[in-house]
Structure 1
Amino acid sequence: MKQQFDLIVVIPIGPNCKLPFIEDTLNSIVHYCSCTYKIVLIDDSNKNYGTILKQRYTDVDVIINKQQYGLLGGLYIALSHAFVYVLDNYGFKALLRMDTDALITGYNPQAEAIQMFEKNPRIGLAGFIKRGKEPRDFAGNPIENYWPMHQITTYALTWRFLSKPKANLALRKLLLKALLNGYAMGENVFGGAYIVSELYLQKLREANMLPDYGIQKIYLEEDHIFGLLTKAIDFEFGDLETGDLPFGVAWRGLPTSPEELYKRGKKIIHSTKRYNDLSETDIRQFFSDKRSMD
């Protein structure tokens, strides 16, 4: 019988990640997740980081890739392998995929997602939903989303299809499936941190999309690919970012100040790399101090 958890946390570790920052992210999970949880690290660092971390965090699982898959479709492949590993070994109510520069900043960040999945099982992928050319985050910041719209249109529907015909044919077939289920061109859930249901991953696997090696070489980011896959299997996106919902995420830095994120009760934030003049060390120290006060 599979061991059951409330939450699985999957974290890919790349070659440019810094070990102290990864440890800080793991410490945030340990501190704030009072539910039952399991952490799974995907070691793509080529620096043995997974083995080093396993010595300190003995309960984590480490998946060491035989090759470095990199970003774009490669990250989609690496995550798919990890998701299959989780499905084979554990049962769970929610799975949080987060980057090493994401941080848990509030208790039980999975709670709202689990309620959402139980209320509507057709929601499979939840977080910050991006639709249209320039959606806005909870803080009112405009977010560029034109790139995936352009890429999908260009490589699936124009003469650029011929640049990689095999991969782009797979993209075109995937796009048609998604469009039939109401897909809006380029819509996705931001990939720095998102939560998925067990049912959603099971359905992706049944559809031979976990992974689909045919789309590995399409020129899209991993979160754009999962956006297409979600609609291709007729699942929906869930909003966990609007207003005081738990996500406070942006691409290259924080969407607003650490103080405001903490005041608003945001539980999952990204990216800790910077905010205005604050460095990653400054931001992490702020939230580490908050943990020590709890």
Structure 2
Amino acid sequence: MKTDYDLIIVIPVGPNCKVEFIEDTINSIKYYCHCTYKILISDDSQKRTGDTIKEIFPEIDLLRHKKTHGLHGGLYITLSLAFKYVLDHYSFQLLLRMDTDALITGFNPQDEAIKLFKNSPKTGIAGVYRKSKNPVDSFGNVIDNEWLRNQIVALAFTRRLLRQPIANYTLRKILIDAFKNGYDIGENVFGGAYFVSELFLRKLDEAGLLPESKLAAVVLEEDHIFGILAKSIKFDLGDLESGSLPFGCAWRGLPASPEVLWEQGKKIIHSTRFWQDLKEPEIRQFFREKRIKEGAQTMSDRINSGTVE
């Protein structure tokens, strides 16, 4: 019998992930997500990093991969196997996929996602939504999407297709289905952190795309692949980044300073690896101090209100 949760969090772990940073990310989930949830570590490290994390947090689930799948299409395989595991073991409202260098920085970011998926059930993936050649995020950063658009065309519709014919012919077939459903070449939801609905994952599984093993050798990032797959089965991609929405994510480093992200109320951020001269330990310390301060204030409020003796 499947266990029911509001939220499933899937965190893929590779060979270069640091235990102390994974621990901090999990602590941010535990502090800010006030719902029923289950964390699944998808361990592709081949270093038993997942086992170390489970020693610290015995309540998490751990999926160990027997062989390294790596990046690009390989990460799509790793995540697909994790999503398949989730479907087989849990019932849930939605799933949050997040990298180890993503962080929860505000209370209940899942609430906005639940609202989006409820109002738009044909949305499959939501987060930092990118479309066109040079989209601009809510902080004014111009995102280079042109490489991706050119790469997709090259892999599926030029002689480069022949370098990995099985993978690229499979990609081409799925792309044609996506184009029929309005896919704008290169549109995607950034993969550092995003929400997906249970319905979307079930439909991917029913279509034989969780995973489609022939895509393992495709030289696209997993978020690019999932964007194409979503459109191929008539699902849309959704925005949870613009304005006051909860995501504040960029590919390399943060999209804005920790102070700005905090002041604007962003609830899921990526990447904690750097912001200008700030390095990951300093960025994590900034947000950890915010959690400590909030926790102390909450306890003070409870004492003053008489709910704690």
TM-score by length of 2: 0.94
1:104 and 2:104 are equivalent in the alignment: yes
1:69 and 2:69 are equivalent in the alignment: yes
1:270 counterpart letter in structure 2: H
Matches within 5 A, 1:38-53: 38-53=38-53
After superposition, what is the alpha-carbon deviation per residue over 1:158-184, rounded to whole angstroms, capped at 9, x for unaligned? 122222222111011011000000000
Matches within 5 A, 1:227-238: 227-238=227-238
* Secondary structure of 1:216 counterpart: helix
* Secondary structure of 1:29 counterpart: helix
- State the match for 1:254 in structure 2: 254
Preserved CA contact (<8 Å) 2:156 2:168: yes
* Secondary structure of 1:97 counterpart: strand
Deviation at 1:82, TM superposition (A): 0.4
In structure 2, C-alpha distance between the alignment counterparts of 1:36 and 1:164, rounded to whole Å: 43
1:85 counterpart letter in structure 2: Y
* Secondary structure of 1:293 counterpart: helix
In structure 1, C-alpha distance between the alignment counterparts of 2:124 and 2:112, rounded to whole Å: 13
In structure 1, C-alpha distance between the alignment counterparts of 2:163 and 2:89, rounded to whole Å: 40
* Secondary structure of 1:174 counterpart: helix
Runs of 4+ aligned structure 1 residues displaced above 3 Å come to: none
Matches within 5 A, 1:212-223: 212-223=212-223
After superposition, what is the alpha-carbon deviation per residue over 1:47-104, rounded to whole angstroms, capped at 9, x for unaligned? 2111111111111001110001110000000000000100001011110000000000
Matches within 5 A, 1:175-186: 175-186=175-186
- State the match for 1:60 in structure 2: 60
Preserved CA contact (<8 Å) 2:19 2:52: no
- State the match for 2:150 in structure 1: 150
Larger radius of gyration: 2
Deviation at 1:36, TM superposition (A): 0.5
- State the match for 1:114 in structure 2: 114
- State the match for 2:191 in structure 1: 191
In structure 2, C-alpha distance between the alignment counterparts of 1:260 and 1:182, rounded to whole Å: 35
In structure 2, C-alpha distance between the alignment counterparts of 1:188 and 1:27, rounded to whole Å: 29
- State the match for 1:90 in structure 2: 90
In structure 2, C-alpha distance between the alignment counterparts of 1:218 and 1:147, rounded to whole Å: 15
Unmatched 5+ residue regions in structure 1?
A: none
After superposition, what is the alpha-carbon deviation per residue over 1:11-51, rounded to whole angstroms, capped at 9, x for unaligned? 00111111111100010001101111000001111221111
* Secondary structure of 1:78 counterpart: helix
Unmatched 5+ residue regions in structure 2?
A: 295-309
- State the match for 2:298 in structure 1: none
- State the match for 2:306 in structure 1: none
1:93 counterpart letter in structure 2: Q
Deviation at 1:186, TM superposition (A): 0.8
In structure 2, C-alpha distance between the alignment counterparts of 1:79 and 1:68, rounded to whole Å: 12
2:205 counterpart letter in structure 1: R
After superposition, what is the alpha-carbon deviation per residue over 1:174-218, rounded to whole angstroms, capped at 9, x for unaligned? 110000000000110000000000000000000000000111111
In structure 1, C-alpha distance between the alignment counterparts of 2:292 and 2:161, rounded to whole Å: 54
1:62 counterpart letter in structure 2: L
After superposition, what is the alpha-carbon deviation per residue over 1:104-125, rounded to whole angstroms, capped at 9, x for unaligned? 0001111101111111110110
In structure 2, C-alpha distance between the alignment counterparts of 1:136 and 1:187, rounded to whole Å: 13
Preserved CA contact (<8 Å) 2:25 2:104: yes
In structure 2, C-alpha distance between the alignment counterparts of 1:164 and 1:77, rounded to whole Å: 17
Preserved CA contact (<8 Å) 2:14 2:45: yes
TM-score by length of 1: 0.99
1:137 counterpart letter in structure 2: D
